[in-house]
Structure 1
Amino acid sequence: MQFTVTFFLLVSIIVSLISFLFAGWLYQWVKNRPSSNKRIAEVGTLIKNGANTFLTKEYTVLAKFAGVAAILILVFLPTPIWKGNVLDNIVMALAYLFGTVFSAIAGVIGIRIATIANVKTAEAAQNGIKPSFMSGFRGGAVMGMAVVGSTLLGVTLVMLITNNTTALLGFSFGASSLALFAKAGGGIFTKTADISADLVGKVELGIPEDDPRNPAVIADNVGDNVGDVAGMGADLFDSNVASMAAALVIAASLDKAAGGTVNTSTVFCYAAIGLLASIIGVATARMGKHGNPTKALNSSTYVTTALFGVLTALATWMFNFQWRIWGASAVGLLVGVIIGIASDYFTDDTKKPVHNVAKASETGPAFTILSGISYGFLSTLPAMIGIAISALAAYKLCDPIGPGYAMYGIAMAAVGMLSIVGMIISNDAYGPIVDNARGLAEMGDLGDDVLEITDSLDSAGNTVKAVTKGFAIGAAGLTVIALLGAFISQVNDSAVVLGLEQITGFDIMNPIVFFGLLIGASIPAVFSAMLMLGVDRNAQRMVSEIHRQFREILGLKEGKEGVVPEYDKCIEIATFGALKELIPAGLVTIIITVLVGFVGGVQAIGGYLCGNIISGLLLALFMSNAGGLWDNSKKYIESGNNGGKGSDAHKAAVVGDTVGDPFKDTAGPSINTQITVVSLVSSLMSTLFLTLSIFH
């Protein structure tokens, strides 16, 4: 059975609209859950207002950046406006702005539902773990459905309107550039507040985690929303768009050579099925009265995975697609699950690495840090092997089809790995919602039984978050390898037009390639350092503010009735610091990419991207897993092991968690987006690098 690509574009639009309708139903379901506690409503409103204020200020800054970037794109891309077709430049600039708007909407939707779901989840815990879990999970699923629906709809509309894959790269760059800054800004905000609240509250004063006396506690809860919800939504929106864009650039090139649209149709068909599988997976997610929340989250992921495998096989048979391409996407998905399981082993509080770090904490914080770093580095091997095997398997599977199909196979492995991203986002957004719910339960004084339930949900969120981050990093790895293929396609298309020699790969013995390789490898480390120094500077300012309040507000430390800390001062410090620090790190990576391209041309950029991909993946995996390990080691001690709360081991574990916070929630996940951004900048500027570099 053969259909034109228009059929698959229309199917993609219909599936996107179904996901929006389902997201709307989930939103109403969560909103209609009962809530009557005045104190929780009051704190929930403070969190909601703080998150909305930060997001408004952040998007105002980013709108200015996007405006300047759009003008530069209009003038210079895909070719300088005075040399090329003016319409192409206008389309590219509009596609870029379209990408930034879609990415921003992903963040807004996330904040809107998360600040409702946290209140509902906290109060539902009074009726048991099942209703509380369902409120948290379905709150996260609103984000999952809306973000992936937006991805598929955005990519489909750009292709339908422009029929131009270069414009699609512009759309992807818009999504990536906004995600880069949103993730960095949100990450700096959330970890500033988290570190400050923990160090002064837990270590210095020995007060509980979400004690309302702590001036940073509301800022910490706001941070969960702006960093782990809005930032993460933009991040995974960007990864999903980039994987589809890379696959479509290569598919269009192959279709042009062969005549027909079968490869482009395959990408849209598989992406639509992935979203459909996620919708069914979310709709069937259930938990018994005394069930295990981690098991419930993981089982819905496995249901979605199996559905995708079966439905894509059926579609491949029905529409006469290439079985080897299906094999490549199945390999990608399978390896994604394996990377998730490996991340789980190193971060789950029922496994040995967490127990060993907790034990090491008894001897002091130096051993907490040393053991955590060691396990963090160890955890990178399974994931790196997984990415390597999936890339190699996809390459070898698809190579016999014909020239260019090997790289298309890798791109489809990335599409396969990200096919269930709707479920991944749902699980990921669940984490900060239940984390906030735990804080609200404590501040609303709902009792120990409720706290026990919210702790159990929070622990599951942390465990699953490590799995989803491993998944996201693995998918980013395959996506950027595919983007390397898209870069070669873009260069060769320009080379044909200009009558220049085409490129087939990059020889690392070529000094220009090696020059790019070394610089590219150093960028993720510089980028991470800039973000973490931002957290460091900001947290020091907030710690001083907390000390001032405890010193100057009489009765605050003792918890006298009617004495309330100045929460807004801490929110202001986190907001101001995050906005000040979020642009420089991202801008440095883009500027260095452009400089390397104009110095060494496309060969240097090829090396630069390879170095950036490898060191970026290594650092992202290490930081995400080490951070998750420290966090769960602290929670393991807090649950009564190795001395329990208030012990020396607990204080050492809090120090470990403080180091791990910017690792796992600021720098680690932002590296994915940094790699994608430099890959897209390289592809978009490939013609300029081909013609205007110092060394060809």
Structure 2
Amino acid sequence: MGGAILTGLLTEILIPNGVSDYLIEEEEGLNDHNVVVKCAEIQSAISEGATSFLFTEYQYVGIFMVAFAVLIFLFLGSVEGFSTKAQPCTYSKDKYCKPALANAGFSTISFLLGATTSLVSGFLGMKIATFANARTTLEARKGVGKAFITAFRSGAVMGFLLAANGLLVLYIAINLFKLYYGDDWEGLFESITGYGLGGSSMALFGRVGGGIYTKAADVGADLVGKVERNIPEDDPRNPAVIADNVGDTVGDIAGMGSDLFGSYAESSCAALVVASISSFGVNHEFTVMCYPLLVSSMGIIVCLVTTLFATDFFEIKSVKEIEAALKKQLIVSTALMTVGIAIISWIALPSTFTIFSFGDQKQVKNWLLFFCVAIGLWAGLVIGFVTEYYASNAYSPVQDVADSCRTGAATNVIFGLALGYKSVIIPIFAIAVSIFVSFSLAAMYGIAVAALGMLSTIATGLAIDAYGPISDNAGGIAEMAGMSHRIRERTDAAGNTTAAIGKGFAIGSAALVSLALFGAFVSRAAISTVMFVLTPKVFIGLIVGAMLPYWFSAMTMKSVGSAALKMVEEV
């Protein structure tokens, strides 16, 4: 099992280094010195601004991280009065588990590990993006294919590094903690849950803090440039343009990376906690216990193969082919990952095992767990496709919103809100089906691994997501460097669509993870009374019921917008 995980880790660690060398070599081959110098100056300004923002943000985040770590230690330690005596294990009264004080200490350490890994991943993603912006601009002079390869491989570097960091730190932490806990799976994975908490806590700061800066800089640059001074977008005469490009990096790169890392860590920890009180936990089968990590390792290999499909087997010849190429990434990674999950489930899992389910024991076969992971994986594909449909200018929803601008801002706002409300319908049903099927097959453990399945191809998802801001910033650099409009067109394609796809994955996986974490708490606390909100029918009813007002509002608002549009045209 360790060999499989280490193989995936080595793949993710070596591939980014190779891609980085490739990017440096490409820059050395460029011959227009003035353009190169100008692009390098702009890139340096963007990098300096992004680094300054993250360092300032991390100063405040560091204070919170230390304070919250102290609170975790105090709260967990006080459960048993800071006891240093061993306690009977909940899954076996004949066996004694480690004292509460030790659990508090190790939980605090894992929280700090998760928080630090999230911050480092966000920072590395930012540096990679700023490293690649100008190179994408310069490569665009050679053709749209070169620009696409540079931007996409740069995004792939970020995706591989984030997934590698998350898996590597979690795997090392489990093995180090195991030296103390031994076969006490309950205590071991309870202490590991702090890793997910640390990742999600930092995701809050990265996503919200970076998002606020992103939108503030974007709106400010557009207001002072387009509205007040009548200056085109990304014009070098507007100093706020640099802040706008910095915002794309810290919000859509560092923020999105931290967000997906938080969901990735939480889903892994939830699955490990539920597994710790199952039959294969009592039987001390370490390989089976770490099945979630094996799924993530297989995702690494699958994402590598998928990346080769995008950059080595198919040539991009026009801007129109970019969006289709990114869509193929989702399809290929999902199809290959389905095969990989089947192999892992057959090799690593026993043919039959037992899962804890609200005080009862549920018999589960390994092929049922395969379906749980697969349903989450394919639900993620559906969410990605639906998001792309509602966010891409190649389809009618966005075209209708653009057409509504002919009659003024009012109809545009109405159509835009209606489109946004309508876009949640299919993803909600995809999540509902995932919850019902996975819970029916393997209880809460099924939901946890379904969430992990949705995030198993996180490297490809982040590569697609990071491509957007990298290419967008490359277009801005081309504009500020005085390059031709043709270069801008080559770099600015499909950017906003890819960002929307990444948000769809993050939000969809978060819904599954939230339920999985709640289920992990109920399972770990050995609550025998059925929690009605955790039963699949009730929870599905809650999320579908919450979606219905948006569905109804979308229909009514679009009707109002259509009527208003016709009225304006007639008058």
| TM-score normalised according to structure 2 size | 0.83
Match of 2:317 in 1: 290
* Residue identity in the other structure for 2:505: F
Q: Of residues 360, 366, 369 in structure 2, which corresponds to 1:325?
A: 369
Q: Alpha-carbon deviations, 1:318-344, whole Å to 9, x = none? A: 345500100111111111111111112
Q: Which moved more, 1:355-364 or 1:260-269?
A: 260-269
Q: Of residues 497, 500, 503 in structure 2, which corresponds to 1:469?
A: 503
Q: Secondary structure at the match of 1:285?
A: helix
CA contact (8 A) 2:69 2:111 kept: yes
Gaps of 5+ in 2: 84-99, 179-187, 351-365, 555-564
Q: Which moved more, 1:466-475 or 1:104-113?
A: 466-475
Match of 2:192 in 1: 168
Match of 1:529 in 2: none
Q: Of residues 330, 351, 373 in structure 1, which corresponds to 2:395?
A: 351
Q: Of residues 408, 411, 420 in structure 2, which corresponds to 1:364?
A: 408
Q: Alpha-carbon deviations, 1:74-109, whole Å to 9, x = none? A: 211264473333222211111111111111110111
Residues 625-636 of structure 1 mapped to structure 2, 5 A cutoff? none
* Residue identity in the other structure for 2:309: T
- Cα RMSD between the aligned structures? 2.8
1:72 aligns with 2:96: no
Match of 1:104 in 2: 119
Match of 2:183 in 1: none
| CA distance in 1: counterparts of 2:22 and 2:421, whole angstroms | 42
| CA distance in 1: counterparts of 2:512 and 2:496, whole angstroms | 25
| CA distance in 2: counterparts of 1:155 and 1:617, whole angstroms | 35
CA pair 150-80 structure 1, distance change in 2 beyond 3 A: same
Match of 1:277 in 2: 302
Match of 2:328 in 1: 299
| CA distance in 1: counterparts of 2:308 and 2:277, whole angstroms | 38
CA contact (8 A) 2:5 2:297 kept: yes
| CA distance in 2: counterparts of 1:87 and 1:260, whole angstroms | 21
CA contact (8 A) 2:159 2:462 kept: yes
Offset at residue 110 of structure 1 (A): 0.7
Residues 438-477 of structure 1 mapped to structure 2, 5 A cutoff? 438-456=475-493, 460-477=494-511
* Residue identity in the other structure for 2:131: I
CA contact (8 A) 1:158 1:167 kept: no
Q: Of residues 8, 17, 24 in structure 1, which corresponds to 2:10?
A: 17
| CA distance in 2: counterparts of 1:617 and 1:228, whole angstroms | 27
Q: Of residues 311, 319, 324 in structure 1, which corresponds to 2:340?
A: 311
Offset at residue 146 of structure 1 (A): 0.3
CA contact (8 A) 2:118 2:202 kept: yes
Q: Of residues 128, 132, 153 in structure 2, which corresponds to 1:138?
A: 153
CA pair 125-257 structure 1, distance change in 2 beyond 3 A: closer
| CA distance in 1: counterparts of 2:123 and 2:242, whole angstroms | 19
Match of 1:391 in 2: 435
Match of 2:283 in 1: 259
Match of 1:483 in 2: 517
Match of 2:353 in 1: none
| CA distance in 1: counterparts of 2:102 and 2:458, whole angstroms | 34
| CA distance in 2: counterparts of 1:208 and 1:618, whole angstroms | 39
Match of 2:558 in 1: none
Q: Alpha-carbon deviations, 1:36-85, whole Å to 9, x = none? A: 42221111111011111111111111111101111111211264473333
Offset at residue 263 of structure 1 (A): 4.4
| CA distance in 2: counterparts of 1:324 and 1:66, whole angstroms | 39
Offset at residue 450 of structure 1 (A): 0.9
CA pair 276-76 structure 1, distance change in 2 beyond 3 A: same
1:505 aligns with 2:514: no
Number of matched residues? 502
* Residue identity in the other structure for 1:421: I
| CA distance in 2: counterparts of 1:218 and 1:319, whole angstroms | 50
| CA distance in 2: counterparts of 1:60 and 1:616, whole angstroms | 41
**Relative contact order, higher structure (CA 8 A, sep 6+):** 1
Match of 1:514 in 2: none
| CA distance in 1: counterparts of 2:291 and 2:19, whole angstroms | 30
| CA distance in 2: counterparts of 1:320 and 1:102, whole angstroms | 29
Gaps of 5+ in 1: 1-7, 399-404, 493-500, 509-605, 626-641, 643-648, 650-696
* Residue identity in the other structure for 2:72: I
CA contact (8 A) 1:281 1:304 kept: yes
CA contact (8 A) 2:148 2:322 kept: yes
Q: Secondary structure at the match of 1:445?
A: coil
Q: Secondary structure at the match of 1:275?
A: helix
Q: Alpha-carbon deviations, 1:469-514, whole Å to 9, x = none? A: 212221211111211211211322xxxxxxxx63321369xxxxxx
1:421 aligns with 2:450: no
| CA distance in 2: counterparts of 1:219 and 1:504, whole angstroms | 52
Provide the identity percentage.
36
* Residue identity in the other structure for 1:317: W
Match of 1:228 in 2: 252
Offset at residue 144 of structure 1 (A): 0.2
| CA distance in 2: counterparts of 1:419 and 1:289, whole angstroms | 27
Q: Secondary structure at the match of 1:504?
A: coil
Offset at residue 317 of structure 1 (A): 3.0
Q: Secondary structure at the match of 2:525?
A: helix
CA contact (8 A) 2:76 2:101 kept: no
Offset at residue 209 of structure 1 (A): 0.8
CA pair 289-304 structure 1, distance change in 2 beyond 3 A: closer
Offset at residue 290 of structure 1 (A): 1.1
Offset at residue 618 of structure 1 (A): 5.9
CA contact (8 A) 2:148 2:316 kept: no
CA pair 72-193 structure 1, distance change in 2 beyond 3 A: same
CA contact (8 A) 2:162 2:261 kept: yes
Match of 1:593 in 2: none
CA contact (8 A) 2:377 2:455 kept: yes
* Residue identity in the other structure for 1:268: L
1:268 aligns with 2:293: yes
Offset at residue 17 of structure 1 (A): 2.6
Q: Secondary structure at the match of 2:237?
A: coil
